[in-house]
Amino acid sequence: MGVKSFPLTKMRLEELAKQYPAPFYVYDEAAIRANAKKLLKAFSIFPSYREHFAVKALPNPFILKILAEEGLGADCSSYSELALADMAGIKGEAVMFTANQTPASEYQAARKLGAVINLDDITHIEYLEKHAGIPELCSCRYNPGPLKGGNLIIGKPEEAKYGFTREQILEGFGLLRAKGAGRFALHAMVASNELNLDYHLETGRILFELAVEIQDKTGVSLEFVNLGGGVGIPYKGEQEAIDWDELAQGLKKLYDSILVPAGLGGLGIHTEYGRPITGPYGWLVSRAIHTKSIYREYIGLDSCMADLMRPALYGAYHHITVAGKENAPLTETYDVVGSLCENNDKFAVQRRLPKIDVGDFVIIHDSGAHGRAMGFNYNGKLRCGELLLRPDGSVIQIRRAETVEDYFATLDITALDTFK
Ligand X SMILES: *Cc1c(COP(=O)(O)O)cnc(C)c1O
Select 230 or 300, whichever has its Cβ closest to ligand X.
230
* Range 66-86 burial, b when 16+ CB lie within 10 A, else e: bbbebebbbbbbbeebbebbb
Nearest CB to ligand X, comparing residues 193 and 367: 193
If the CB atoms of residues 71 and 324 are measured against ligand X, the closer one turns out to be 71
Shortest gap between Cβ of 314 and ligand X (angstroms)? 12
* Distance between CA atoms of residues 220 and 183, nearest Å: 9
Nearest to 222 by CA among 265, 158, 279: 265
**Nearest distance in Å: CB 118, ligand X:** 8
* Smallest gap from residue 275 Cβ to ligand X (A): 4
164 vs 361, beta carbon nearer ligand X:
164
Residue 109 Cβ vs ligand X, minimum distance, rounded to whole Å:
17
Output 168 or 397, the one with its CB closest to ligand X.
Answer: 168
Task: Tell the smallest beta-carbon distance from residue 408 to ligand X (Å).
Answer: 31
Based on CB atoms, which residue is closest to ligand X, 143 or 193? 193
Q: In the complex with ligand X, which residue's Cβ is closer, 230 or 311? A: 230
Q: Shortest approach of ligand X to residue 57 CB, angstroms?
A: 4
Dist CA 354 CA 59 (whole Å): 33
Q: How far is the CB of 235 from ligand X (least distance, A)?
A: 12
User: If we measure between CA atoms, which residue out of 81, 102, 179, 77 comes closest to residue 138?
Assistant: 179
* Contacting positions for ligand X (CB under 6 A): 54, 56-57, 75, 98, 189, 192-193, 228-231, 272-275, 369
Q: Which residues contact 342 (CB under 8 A, 6 or more apart)?
A: 305, 312, 379
CA angle centred on 17, ends 373 and 406, rounded to 5°: 45
Nearest in space to 312 (alpha carbons), one of 345, 336, 288:
345
Per the CB < 8 A criterion, the answer to whether 162 and 124 are in contact is: no
Kindly give the pairing relationship between strand 73-76 and strand 95-98. parallel
CB of 95 to ligand X, least distance (A): 13
Cα–Cα distance for residue pair 7/27, rounded to 1 Å: 9
Of 257, 267, 263, residue with least CA distance to 224: 267
Give whichever of 118 and 321 is closer to ligand X, judged by the CB atom: 118
Quick check: helix, strand or coil at residue 107?
A: helix
